[in-house]
Amino acid sequence: MLNKERAIDKFMELVQIDSVSLNEKNVAIYLKNHFETLGYEVLEDQVSIKAVPQSNSGNILVRVPGRGNKKNDDIIILQAHMDTVEPGNGVKPSITDDGMYIVSDGTTILGADDKAGIAQILEVEAVLRENELSHPPLEFLFTIAEEIGLLGAFNLDTSIIKGKIAYVLDGGGGPGTAIIGGPDFYDISGTITGKASHAGVAPEKGISSIQVMADAISKMKLLKVDEDTTSNIGRVICDYPTNVVAEVTRFDMEVRSLDAQKAIDQVKHIIDTLQASCDAFGATLDVKSSKSLSAYKHSEDNKVLGLYKKMCDKHNLKYNPVVVRGGTDVSGLMENGIDAIALAAGGEFAHELNERLIIDEFMDNIQQLIWLIAD
């Protein structure tokens, strides 16, 4: 029933539409035109537009009526996000010589995260329609700004979304893989202020904010802190002429952990280390931390997980539950009262220039969605 050539063509088409975070408009237009041409109701989420005014699009919702003996079953939501990380503009995809992968030309990411999820949804709809398969009512939800804080998923217009269970198509691995847990996530940002002085005439009168930052960094536990916890510095900004002792340095960091207390401890460690370096050099610290995700782990009796496990058993798929430190729109959906798990989309090496789509896994993951929806 699956049309491999069509699914791959749609994926290749999608990744060539630029949609780095906050610039999802062209993908939104593509999806709106695609589904309206097929006669479906398409809505743009006005709440997300107001909540994320810096984006040029809102979330897109598509309603697909149920068919056959399942037409009155509970609504199922299939969800994928429209944005990509940078460098994500001007993607030039190609299929490798062995026919196993789709890759970029190496100057950009590929965008399988999460154009693979979108392409899966397009193929699922086509298969259901062409084969007149019985299926429950469906809602296809395409969100904005996932990569910069799940902003679309957290800012849903819940008055237009009727479904209460969702499959988020945004994970690695093959059929049977389900992401059942995610991390606490903290943003840490701030400013170190030293004292400007002429770097050649009187450097001893200055306090170098970038030196203070470097001292703090050298004493921090960073990257993989332990099996549950990671911490990363994403941005350090200090821009002065070389003859000026740098007065101000700004920074942005993150902390993730599957353990709530470990996350708190790591945030405290970072702030305490920054403060100690500032005190040692006579600089001042202005820092704030904010929690944007809460750790979760589904229990084995979770309804949406139970439906997935039942499908795996029926089709002899090895059920592979995983807990990851990466954030997904599952957290935002759950915050809005929608029970969700994340399923594999077929991509590998997300956010890297060597990102690729594993074609066989991509197709197998589409098949498992058909089984989930139409069995």
Active site amino acids: 83, 146
The answer to whether the CB of 295 falls within 8 A of the CB of 263 is yes
* Joined tokens for residue 159: 């008055």
Helix (H, G, I), strand (E, B) or coil at 242: coil
d(CA 256, CA 266): 9
The answer to whether the CB of 246 falls within 8 A of the CB of 308 is no
Q: How many CA atoms lie within 13 A of 114 on its CB side?
A: 29
DSSP string, 150-191: -HHHHT--TTT----EEEEEEEESSTTEEEEEE-EEEEEEEE
Closest CA to 333 of 183, 161, 176, 172: 161
The answer to whether the CB of 45 falls within 8 A of the CB of 59 is yes
SS (H, E, C) 200-228: CCCHHHCECHHHHHHHHHHCCCCEECCCC
Helix (H, G, I), strand (E, B) or coil at 311: helix
Closest CA to 111 of 86, 132, 143, 133: 86
